[in-house]
Structure 1
């Protein structure tokens, strides 16, 4: 994370605009259900048509603002992550030119290729996904809690408890998955090494009749990588299931309390 922040520092102004757009989008997104509730209340209390039309106009304006902020924020997020990736690739290339032959051989061609291409691409995708999917979460959480406490203080504490449980479970899953992803990086270097050896030594392999051995070697390397990736993805799949169950439980509890009340 410190490395990403280091390369993102020259584009701080772009990050500030993205944060502002994300905040406005979150506020506008949560205002739409609020206006919808007001519209239902107005219809139930026989309000005038003009009052209901004004509420509908407010909903349309807020929806346009939310859509505009989402589209602009997504485009700026792509620009922001692309510039970070470009700066990192330039820095990696400049650093590789300063390495001695001994250092280059100690890292290996496969590792250098993976660091320059695959790792930077993963960071670029991670930054984009973080901005689009993770950055609005604190804003939505704070605004939603504020609106919930305004409506009903006792019911508002239930989602707080569920969110705390999800955060604790997510932290445990992330702690368990981190060693697996580090292992995946080493396995990816191993895959690149095996592929490079097969491509550069194909004549020697055919001369000594080692095709079956090399095929088994490649299959084993791919199998180990696939099994480790499946284990890591299953951990996060459990987090999704827990989140859905918590969300559904909160809604059912809200309905039950509303009916009993």
Structure 2
């Protein structure tokens, strides 16, 4: 899986990879040629006192070394640039896949693991690619070429190579095999640490409100200790590699000098040849050491590649149809026809047989107890989920038969938990319409009852907004989210409990200002507070995922027991001291 991922990602950089391969050939061949030149200087120059031969061979050796240096520098630069570019593209692909996920896939993976897969896991693959581009050709050529050149110098010492190289291979292979499961646990531990840290940061107010700092610290310490234990286990295995490699390395060196000296003493071998053989053995063992480094990185990168591939191969359950139907422009009705919906793996459906029509120029409100399926119902219109049975129509077109981009351009959604992006007030509002003028923005703020506090902020429309809108209150965040939807001027407005953080007076003013702004639009409002929907043209009452009441406020008080109970409970709360 690792190699297939790398191969597919490096395909656009085939030219750069080919250049690196050529440079590696040049660098490796020059490296293999240098010990032979050194041996000839000793045997042909120093031994006979031929200064001219020493200078001639020395000049060749200097030129070869210069070519080797230039090739090595070029390899390092190109390898770093190519691996970084590949990582950039891979992060872009993962991000593109995630942005195409429906709410179902996002819930299955979870934000913490998606973040770590797009950062830590991609980085592991990048490191392997960088090392591979630098040594993928030189290591095998250095090993094979070094053996051949060593045999040219002296066959009698070749048994040392035949013993040292396989021994190193067995040592490294056995340790790498034991590392693979630990690397998988390490990446899973990273996910756990990220998840707990993210929960604690986003839920810090809840943690402090319930004085649970000690509990959260213990929970994080447990996850952190697990990650540390895994890293220590990997480190212990890793720490065995280089001492064993160096033991073989030094033992081979001693053996070469010991047995080589005897061969020189008997005249079977010259001093220059022994020196060259020693250098070739060093090159062979050094290539094995670099291969060892690569081997240490490959198992973890293989785990990371599997996690990345899982994201890339996951297909959204909400997909564009092959031949989409165009949604007509103009006022659009939203119709639910016998809609059922169940979350994957759930024993009971969330919605059962829901049918109603939300008409243009009218406000349709949805109310019900907690868990009745209100937010799920409204999420079916923009296809955050797809219905299990039945159909949802927009302007007479089944939403699954329309192109997603076409569907979304007709809808303005204000979610239950409004989210603001880091930037300014203006940049957040222009998410609704990038071409909106400042006058358009102020007009939307005026309707959303946000004009006063935005005007009071330093910079007005250019006032900074922190990530998530943490530098404004909950009510201000809701009003800015409403203004963002108003800037878009869609044919359908979906307000998912979008007035819950507003006081009664602000809520009333906003609804009054909103009415003339949405005269031709279809408005669907999910609400917990009866006062927010009392003037709605149609109220849909949900209970356990079923429609148990439909009509205006006064009619439902008489006809729908569930609605009457909701009104009575809120009235009782209002009059209690």
Query: TM-score, normalised on structure 2?
Result: 0.44
CA drift at 1:197:
0.6
SS of residue in 1 equivalent to 2:156: helix
> Is 1:240 the equivalent of 2:242?
yes
Contact 2:17 2:133 in 1 (8 A): no
Residue aligning to 1:198: 200
Q: Mind listing any 5+ residue stretches in structure 2 that lack a counterpart?
A: 264-577
SS of equivalent residue, structure 1 residue 46: coil
**CA RMSD after TM alignment:** 1.5
Q: In the TM superposition, what are the counterparts of 1:170-181 in structure 2 within 5 Å? A: 170-181=172-183
Describe the superposition over 1:125-168 as per-residue Cα deviations: whole angstroms up to 9, x where unpaired: 22112333554211111111011111111312322321112112
2:217 matched to 1:231?
Answer: no
Larger mean Cα displacement after TM superposition, 123-132 or 17-26: 123-132
Q: Deviations over 1:204-247 (max 9, x none)?
A: 11111111111121122112111211211221221211211111
Q: CA deviation at 1:47?
A: 4.0
> How many angstroms apart in 2 are the aligned matches of 1:241 and 1:133?
22
**Cα deviation 1:71-123 (Å, max 9, x = unaligned):** 00001101110121122112112211221101111100001111112211221
> In the TM superposition, what are the counterparts of 1:31-180 in structure 2 within 5 Å?
31-133=33-135, 135-180=137-182
Q: Distance in 1 between matches of 2:140 and 2:67?
A: 20
Counterpart position of 2:216: 214
Q: CA deviation at 1:199?
A: 0.2
Give the length in aligned residue pairs. Answer: 261
SS at match of 2:5: helix
> What residue is the counterpart of 1:189 in the other structure?
191
2:29 aligns to what? 27
CA distance in 1, matches of 2:187, 2:208: 30
Q: CA deviation at 1:58?
A: 0.6
Give the 3-state SS of the residue equivalent to 2:211 in structure 1.
Answer: coil
Give the distance between the partners of 1:233 and 1:15, measured in 2 at CA.
Answer: 32
Report which of the two has the higher share of strand. Answer: 2
Whether contact under 8 Å (2:94, 2:118) holds in the other structure is yes
Question: Contact (CA 8 Å) 2:189, 2:223: kept in 1 or not?
Answer: yes
Higher alpha-carbon Rg: 2
- What TM-score do the two structures reach when normalised by structure 1? 0.95
CA contact (8 A) 2:45 2:53 kept: no
SS of the equivalent of 1:154 reads coil
Matched residues in 1 for 2:161 and 2:229: separation? 36
Hey, what's the Cα distance between the residues in 1 that align with 2:151 and 2:238?
31
User: Which deviates more from structure 2 when the two are superposed, residues 100-109 or residues 133-142?
Assistant: 133-142
Deviation at 1:16, TM superposition (A): 1.4
Secondary structure (helix, strand or coil) at the match of 1:209 reads coil
Contact 2:83 2:129 in 1 (8 A): yes
1:86 aligned counterpart, secondary structure:
helix
Instruction: Tell me how far apart the structure 2 counterparts of residues 178 and 225 of structure 1 sit (CA, whole Å).
Output: 15
- What is residue 258 of structure 1 aligned with on the other side? 260
Residue range with higher mean Cα deviation, 185-194 or 28-37: 28-37
Single out whichever of 143-152 and 33-42 deviates more from structure 2.
33-42
> Are the aligned partners of 2:24 and 2:137 in contact in 1 as well (CA < 8 Å)?
yes
Partner in structure 1 of residue 10 of structure 2: 8
Name whichever of 178-187 and 251-260 sits farther off.
Answer: 251-260
2:83–2:126: 8 Å Cα contact kept in structure 1? yes
Q: Which secondary structure does the structure 1 equivalent of 2:157 belong to?
A: helix
Point out which structure has higher relative CO (alpha carbons under 8 A, 6+ apart): 1
Structure 1: stretches of 5+ with no match in the other structure: none
Q: Give the C-alpha shift of residue 193 in structure 1.
A: 0.3
